[in-house]
Amino acid sequence: AQSVTQPDIHITVSEGASLELRCNYSYGATPYLFWYVQSPGQGLQLLLKYFSGDTLVQGIKGFEAEFKRSQSSFNLRKPSVHWSDAAEYFCAVGAYNFNKFYFGSGTKLNVKP
Amino acid sequence: DAGVTQSPTHLIKTRGQHVTLRCSPISGHKSVSWYQQVLGQGPQFIFQYYEKEERGRGNFPDRFSARQFPNYSSELNVNALLLGDSALYLCASSLADGLLYEQYFGPGTRLTVT
């Protein structure tokens, strides 16, 4: 069965510090992996996606993620967090032929000034 | 260009009632998907429609149904509402079928069942 685990429910980092949000997936076929961000009152916004090729993918807003097949992980990173990054972040795995995602339960990011 | 729009923004219903939620995709987008996001959880896939045909269905009871109209807008219907149906319902649209096409999410409809 397909599933996504985000082990950290809440994370607090200081502004300017580095960030890593963890994501582990379970998927029977080749995974198509995504990171979305959800700010209060706004829709989910795609940060980045991995389909194939280079395992380090760059996204918007200075985010990047690394696909590690051996660890079934797709962790999201940012070298220096800004206060505006405070939001909830969702990892998702998709089935190629369908617009259907399996989302993780999310990680809420707080940024300390 | 307008993004994905959903109506209404908020809705309060009583157990046993029926509800219809509406979604207008981005102009030119032919695929619409629906998700349920219960507070504190990630979105769960309900349906996907492409060119007015159902392309995928998640693990939801038959009380949930949807359709897509010739203009590609979509409705999600829920019958015999339960307290557990209280959630944020998200609609997403994309140009075509398949994950190569980015999904754009609307702001959602907040449904409260009392």
Read off the pLDDT of residues B74-100 as tens digits, 9 standing for 90 and up: 999 999 999 999 999 999 999 988 777
Distance from CA of A44 to the nearest CA of B (A): 6
Domain containing A64 equals: 3-112
Q: Nearest Cα to B68, choosing from B93, B85, B87, B43?
A: B93
If one counts the domains in chain A, the total is 1
A101 has a chain B CB within 8 A of its CB = yes
Of the residues B39, B45, B100, the best mutation for testing chain A's interface (the one with the most A CB atoms within 10 Å of its CB) is B45
Q: Which residue of A has its CA nearest to B9?
A: A41
Chain A, chain B: beta-carbon pairs less than 8 Å apart: 74
Q: What CATH code is carried by the domain that includes residue A75?
A: 2.60.40.10
- DSSP letter for each residue of A12-77: EEETTS-EEE--EEE-SS--EEEEEEE-TTS-EEEEEEE-SS-SEEE-GGG-EEEEEGGGTEEEEE
| pLDDT the model gives residue A94 | 84
**Residue contact A100–B45, C-beta within 8 A:** yes
Q: Which residue of A has its CA nearest to B49?
A: A99
Tokens of B57: 């269905």
Q: Provide the 8-state DSSP code for B93.
A: E
Handedness of CA B85, A5, A96, A50 (dihedral sign): positive
Contact at 8 Å (CB) between A22 and A73? yes
Q: Nearest Cα to B89, choosing from B101, B97, B78, B103?
A: B78
A52 has a chain B CB within 8 A of its CB = no
CATH T-level topology, domain B5-108: Immunoglobulin-like (2.60.40)
Domain boundaries, chain B: 5-108
pLDDT tens string for chain A (113 positions)? Answer: 678 999 999 999 999 999 999 999 988 777 889 999 999 877 899 999 998 888 999 999 999 999 999 999 999 999 999 999 999 999 999 876 666 778 999 999 999 99
Q: Are strands B10-13 and B109-113 parallel, antiparallel or unpaired?
A: parallel
Average pLDDT, chain B: 94
Distance from CA of A83 to the nearest CA of B (A): 22
- Sequence-separated (6 or more) residues with CB below 8 Å from residue A53: none
